[in-house]
A and B are shown apart, each in its own frame.
Chain A
Amino acid sequence: MAFDVFLQHLTNGISLGSLYALVAIGYTMVYGILRLINFAHGDIFMMATYFTFYSIVIFGVPWYAAFLAVIVVTGALGVILEASAYRPLRDAPRISIMISAIGASFLLENLAIVIFGGRPKAFPALDFFTEVIKLGTVSIQRLTFIIPVMTLVLLYVLLYLINNTKSGMAMRAVSKDFETSRLMGIDVNRTISVTFFLGSMLAAVGGIMWGMKFPQIQPLMGVMPGVKCFIAAVIGGIGNIQGAVLGGFILGLVEILLIAFLPDLTGYRDAFAFILLIIVLLFRPTGIMGEKIAEKV
């Protein structure tokens, strides 16, 4: 394989990995605080692409304004989801909350089919992002550079929020111990809402970028990326934000490079992430950067 083709695949893998990372952060934050797989996260991601599509194509909002509005609206959607589907079950057995999460995911998907229609739609192409840059023999869309850079910037902003603000401190406390932090006067419900808001905003950014990278959107588009991003979060060590980003990069890179080197396995592309998940769960259940948790009796 020629070196420039390899570089092409590498940049592709990095930008796909950054998209996975953005969505994986949402999974890992929610899991860290509620110990819940937010099955509906992938569908929030899907909703964000549809919101963008409608605001740009139907309402003709300029893209930068549309992006901002979509990110805020999607964050609000995450907060509503938490308040309606998860908050009433705060003291319920884990399995009930999981089933509620699956139900919420299906509800969002089916609502999207009813409201937006089941037929795929074409995401608007924005010249600023899709312009092709030539670097020597490699030609790459500008988007391919923007995505990883933005992921890293957002990661640092998020880490700053978590480590240096009061809400961030509350989030860390709640994820360590629910009851104790309540006793310390932390508004647990508000903290969880903030977590969902931040996670869903990142999912919205991921969704917008995904729409520009793979410009065909349909109501079930969130399912596979959703599951894969959860896998990325598990690989990196669930509950750990840097871990989720690392897991996303690993998953994206390995997926693209595997297909590049072994084209025969293209049909098995989606199976690959699951195999990686099972291997990680068997040999290092807490992921690469996760802490060991001892079960208390």
Chain B
Amino acid sequence: MNNNTQKQSPLIRLDWIKERNPKLTIISLLLLGIFLYIADNRFDAYQVRVLNLCAIYTVLGLSMNLINGFTGLFSLGHAGFMAIGAYTCALLTMPVAVKDQNFFLEPINEVLRTIVLPYPAALLVGGIFAALMAFLIGAPVLRLKGDYLGIATLGFAEIIRIVITNLQTITNGALGLKSIPAKTNLWWSYGIAVFTTVFLVWLINSSYGRAFKAIREDEIAAEAMGINLFKHKVLSFVIGAFFAGVGGGLLGNLLGAINPLLFRFTLTFNILLIIVLGGMGSITGTIISAFIVTIGQEALRFLDQPFSLGFIQVPGISGLRMVVFSALLMLVVLFFRRGLMGTNEFSWDSFIGFFKNLGKGPGKPLSKGGTES
């Protein structure tokens, strides 16, 4: 995001604030804050929900991009990690009365019943559980390569889902959880999205990040350069799973009701669509396409309902929306293989340079990831 400031300015001294790029970054974060404040107070519930979803999909897309785009591990297990995060977070934030109401078929596990944690702690625990699971899975599975890894992680996600369906006293089985406290608000989701972005930018530009990219480009060459393949792969997998768990927790407490069917492969597919559309290996691209895909999925809802084309009445066909989306994914892969951004990143220098080249002055700075604010 701001490569040149990292080179020149130690963060301890405050003179970095005087430079142009950090200033612009701070201004755009402030603008984002103001926009969220307005949105929080003025927008209706539906719009707020869509905005929340945008931020959550940003977190999820970034976490999957770390594993798939930056480290080059073809992992399809994201829905499983999200399920762990969502269930953990939901169960830890539900008050005892709500838990009793939910578990009418079989009583809930006695220990679990009494534990109630504040929301941030529950999110953190959800993420840690997902990361732990990734660590356990990663140790054996990350020895596999390419599509074998994909199918094995897909298998694990499916196993997690089946176990959740069958653990009646812990997860309420196929009935799922209802009336989960609606703790997710714009501040939490965008706060975590910004934190994830900053953390990933830092990670990608650190020596670890360079090792990840080296593994993506050529495993054998990376190993020859002295990079410990297994350690770095597990690290990337675990960090990705942590953020997937946190994102799952945010999602669960936003939706208010979760069940095992929510965490099918379709969910992983949605996130895959986001990172492919944005560009595998671009943080900026993931953020932009998380917003495009989420808002697009809402905007295309009219396809599922009856609408008129002036002279003919088109009956509503439920499912047409998903046809459009899967066709879109294929078109992107077939014709724009690099996605929106390829592996490029947003930087203020190139952004301003772009406007200068157009012969205009620098425009209003966009907020993080160039989305509207």
Contact = CB atoms under 8 A, between A and B. Distances in A.
Interface of A: 36-37, 85, 88-89, 92, 94-96, 98-100, 102-104, 106-107, 109-111, 113-114, 118, 223, 227, 230-231, 234, 267-268, 270-271, 273-275, 277-278, 281-282, 285, 295, 297
Given A103-B327, A103-B329, 6 more contacts: A95-B72, A103-B330, A230-B151, A271-B163, A278-B155, A285-B144
B333 A274 contact: no
A107 B159 contact: no
A271 B318 contact: no
B162 A110 contact: no
B154 interface: yes
A247 to B, nearest CB: 14
Interface string B257-279: 00000000110010010001000
Interface residues of B, number: 43
Interface of B: 68, 72, 74, 140-141, 143-144, 146-148, 150-152, 154-156, 158-159, 162-163, 165-166, 220, 265-266, 269, 272, 276, 280, 317-320, 322-323, 325-327, 329-330, 333-334, 337
A258 to B, nearest CB: 14
B140 A278 contact: yes
Q: Which of B74, B144, B322, B325 has the most CB of A within 10 A?
A: B322
Contacts of B330: 85, 100, 103-104, 107
Contacts, number: 109
A130 to B, nearest CB: 31
Given A113-B319, A270-B158, A281-B152, A88 B334 contact: yes
A85 B334 CA distance: 7
Given A92-B337, A96-B337, A100-B333, A106 B155 contact: no
17 contacts: A37-B147, A89-B333, A89-B334, A95-B72, A100-B330, A104-B330, A109-B326, A110-B322, A110-B325, A227-B155, A227-B158, A231-B155, A234-B148, A270-B162, A271-B158, A275-B159, A282-B143
Given A106-B269, A118-B319, A223-B265, A282 B140 contact: yes
A3 B185 CA distance: 61
A297 to B, nearest CB: 6
A111 B326 CA distance: 10
Q: Which of B159, B280, B325 has the most CB of A within 10 A?
A: B159
Contact of A274 (B159, B272, B322): B159
Given A271-B159, A275-B159, A107 B323 contact: yes
B317 A98 contact: no
Contacts of B155: 227, 231, 273-274, 277-278
Which 6 pairs of residues, A with B, have the shortest CB-CB distance? A274-B155, A106-B326, A113-B319, A103-B330, A107-B326, A103-B329
A102 to B, nearest CB: 7
A107 B327 contact: yes
B334 A37 contact: no
A115 to B, nearest CB: 9
B151 A277 contact: yes
Contacts of B150: 37, 98
Contacts of B166: 267-268
